[in-house]
């Protein structure tokens, strides 16, 4: 291995080959601090050509590669296992914006660009890159694409897959595929781009992408609505789609217990309602009409929703600052639950029409199996993505409760499957769910996935032990 490391240092510079444990620790520790892997080295190339050179060296020496962006994943997909035989390939130095094309509404960026920096670069051109995540200050475009990230604006703009037109990829044998096409129509064979998006680095290394930009909206309004149950939220979603059309940008569901946790651990958070309600929806409209016109649309929507008994109360943000503070309540839910103690997370998706029944049924099943456990239910209702998290009863140590994770996962995921849903909506499978997915995908589907893996990565060196 000494010869391998010497050649890596020659390829990218000795200062970018990290082997000391103190230097590699941040790269082998997962985002939630639950797992720590081991690595032969952390390699930090500065260009696509350097990535290709490193991959060829790994092929030559039969060394596995764990591609890594911002390491913000939640399913152990971006850290190595305990064997210490793999290298971490960090793409953070690939952080250039290569091209801006406002006439075509596209931007070509390196995979290591931070999402927040891409958003800011688009804004400087009076354009919008709509992918929006709580981790946008830390996550990278390559990681977003490798996991087909979702976020709060999927309802209007789609997942990362829908926001990407072309890719540059270093294949598992160290060749560079230049698929950086800024085309919205290209029917010239198999869609290779879509194979690598969502593959979690198991087929190759995304090194750059052409992403879509959109005109900046001229108006943007945020409302926070109180409801009696998830059924009312589904009814409000249908009404909002009918009356607001494409202006409906965000539709986030959260339970009262979510807000209680935020108030407890973020006491500076705004008090939105003087009374407590069972469920809430954060709704956002944006468009190219005047703010007055958008406000009129929103007012008509809630007048009708209140008249029909769907909405119990509503607060509409009257300034950008108030809108941001309302969104901060939503974004702080995960951090508040983490501050409360360890919990069991589920990133699931369901047909929107099934969500209310799923919550009711699964709450009942968990209550029967684990009396007084606490469910923290929130998510992107507009696209059916629910974060259904389970915390220990108040009189139970979270470390003891976490031992039940396997059983609780199966209880929740079995009910997801009964409702024709997915056990991973936007976080991927990683190492955490690669065995569990075998219960829910058909043998034929798994075999087709393995065939693709074997064809594109015959030496099985790309992110081994992840996805399949």
Q: How do residues 375-387 score in pLDDT, each as one tens digit?
A: 999 999 999 999 9
Mean pLDDT of all residues in the chain? 96
Tell me the pLDDT tens digit for each residue of 49-76: 999 999 999 999 999 999 999 999 999 9
Is residue 139 over pLDDT 80? yes
pLDDT score for 227:
98
Tell me the pLDDT tens digit for each residue of 242-286: 999 999 999 999 999 999 999 999 999 988 999 999 999 999 999
Among the four given CATH numbers 3.40.50.300, 1.10.3710.10, 3.40.960.10, 3.30.70.2190, the one describing domain 219-334: 3.30.70.2190
Cα–Cα distance between 379 and 168 in angstroms, integer? 32
Place of tokens 């075509």: 104
Residue 242 main-chain phi, psi, to 5 deg: -65, -40
Q: What percent of the chain has pLDDT over 90?
A: 93
Mean pLDDT of 294-316: 96
Q: How confident is the model at residue 415 (pLDDT cuts 50, 70, 90)?
A: very high
Is residue 34 over pLDDT 90? no
Cβ atoms within 10 Å of 271's Cβ, excluding its own: 8
- Cα Rg of the chain (Å, integer): 23
pLDDT score for 1:
72
For 289, half-sphere exposure in the C-beta direction (CA atoms, 13 angstrom radius) is 15
Is residue 314 over pLDDT 90? yes
Given this chain, do its domains 219-334 and 341-427 carry the same CATH topology? yes
The CATH number of 97-215 is 3.30.465.10
Cβ atoms within 10 Å of 372's Cβ, excluding its own: 10
Domain covering 2-90, topology? 3.30.43
pLDDT score for 321:
86
Cα–Cα distance between 94 and 111 in angstroms, integer? 6
Helix (H) or strand (E) holding 378, with range, is: strand 374-380
pLDDT score for 312:
98
Tell me the pLDDT tens digit for each residue of 143-161: 999 999 998 899 999 999 9
Tell me the β-bridge partners of 101: 106
- For the chain, the domains span 2-90, 97-215, 219-334, 341-427
Spell out the CATH class of 341-427: alpha beta
Tell me the β-bridge partners of 67: 89
Q: Which residues contact 258 (CB under 8 A, 6 or more apart)?
A: 333, 336, 376, 377, 378
CB-based burial, 407-438: b 16+ in 10 Å, e otherwise: ebbebbbebbeebebbbbbbbbbbbbbbeebe
Size of the chain in residues: 468
Q: How confident is the model at residue 32 (pLDDT cuts 50, 70, 90)?
A: confident
Tell me the pLDDT tens digit for each residue of 73-105: 999 999 999 999 999 999 999 999 999 999 999
CB contact at 8 A, 411 and 365: yes
Q: Which residues contact 402 (CB under 8 A, 6 or more apart)?
A: 342, 344, 392
Cα–Cα distance between 174 and 162 in angstroms, integer? 27
Question: DSSP assignment of 275-314, as one string?
Answer: S--SEEEEEEEEESS-HHHHHHHHHHHHHHHHHTTS-SEE
pLDDT score for 120:
97
Tell me the β-bridge partners of 91: none
Q: How confident is the model at residue 429 (pLDDT cuts 50, 70, 90)?
A: very high
Q: Is the pTM of the predicted complex or chain greater than 0.95?
A: no
pLDDT score for 123:
96
Cα–Cα distance between 132 and 171 in angstroms, integer? 28
pLDDT score for 33:
86
Tell me the pLDDT tens digit for each residue of 206-253: 999 999 999 999 999 999 999 999 999 999 999 999 999 999 999 999
């Amino acid at each position: 291995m000494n010869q391998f490391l010497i050649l890596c240092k020659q390829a990218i510079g000795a200062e970018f080959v990290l082997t000391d444990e103190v230097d590699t620790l941040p790269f082998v520790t997962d985002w939630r601090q639950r797992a720590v892997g081991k690595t032969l080295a952390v390699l930090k190339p500065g260009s696509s050509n350097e990535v290709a050179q490193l991959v060829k060296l790994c092929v030559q020496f039969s060394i596995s590669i764990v591609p890594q962006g911002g390491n913000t994943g939640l399913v152990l997909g971006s850290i190595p296992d305990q064997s210490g035989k793999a290298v971490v390939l960090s793409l953070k130095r690939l952080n250039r914006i290569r091209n801006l094309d406002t006439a075509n509404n596209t931007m070509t960026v390196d995979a290591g660009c931070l999402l927040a920096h891409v958003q800011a670069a688009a804004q400087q051109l009076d354009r919008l890159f709509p992918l929006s995540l709580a981790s946008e200050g830390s996550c990278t475009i390559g990681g977003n694409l490798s996991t087909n990230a979702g976020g709060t604006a999927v309802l209007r703009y789609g997942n990362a897959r829908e926001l990407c037109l072309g890719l540059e990829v270093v294949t598992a044998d160290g060749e560079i595929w230049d698929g950086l096409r800024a085309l919205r129509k290209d029917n010239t064979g198999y869609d290779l781009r879509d194979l690598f998006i969502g593959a979690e680095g198991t087929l190759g290394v995304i090194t750059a992408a052409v992403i879509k930009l959109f005109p900046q909206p001229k108006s943007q309004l945020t409302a926070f609505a109180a409801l009696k149950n998830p059924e009312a939220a589904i009814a409000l979603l249908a009404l909002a789609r009918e009356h607001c059309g494409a202006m409906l940008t965000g539709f986030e569901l959260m339970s009262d217990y979510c807000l209680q946790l935020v108030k407890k651990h973020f006491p500076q958070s705004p008090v939105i309602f003087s009374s407590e309600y069972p469920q809430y929806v954060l709704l956002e409209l944006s468009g190219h009409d005047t703010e007055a016109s958008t406000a009129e649309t929103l007012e008509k929507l809630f007048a009708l929703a209140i008249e029909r008994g769907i909405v119990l109360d509503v607060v509409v943000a009257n300034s950008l600052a108030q809108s941001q503070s309302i969104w901060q309540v939503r974004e702080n839910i995960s951090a508040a639950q983490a501050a409360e103690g360890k919990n069991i997370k589920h990133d699931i998706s369901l047909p929107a029409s099934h969500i209310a029944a799923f919550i009711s049924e699964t709450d009942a099943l968990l209550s029967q199996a684990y009396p007084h456990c606490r469910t923290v239910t929130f998510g992107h209702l507009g696209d059916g993505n629910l974060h259904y998290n389970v915390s220990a009863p108040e009189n139970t140590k979270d470390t003891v409760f976490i031992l039940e994770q396997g059983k609780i996962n199966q209880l929740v995921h079995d009910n997801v499957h009964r409702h024709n849903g997915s056990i991973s909506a936007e976080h991927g499978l990683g190492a955490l769910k690669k065995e569990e997915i075998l219960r829910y995908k058909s043998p034929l589907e798994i075999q087709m996935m393995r065939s693709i893996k074997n064809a594109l990565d015959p030496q099985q060196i790309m992110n081994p032990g992840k996805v399949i």
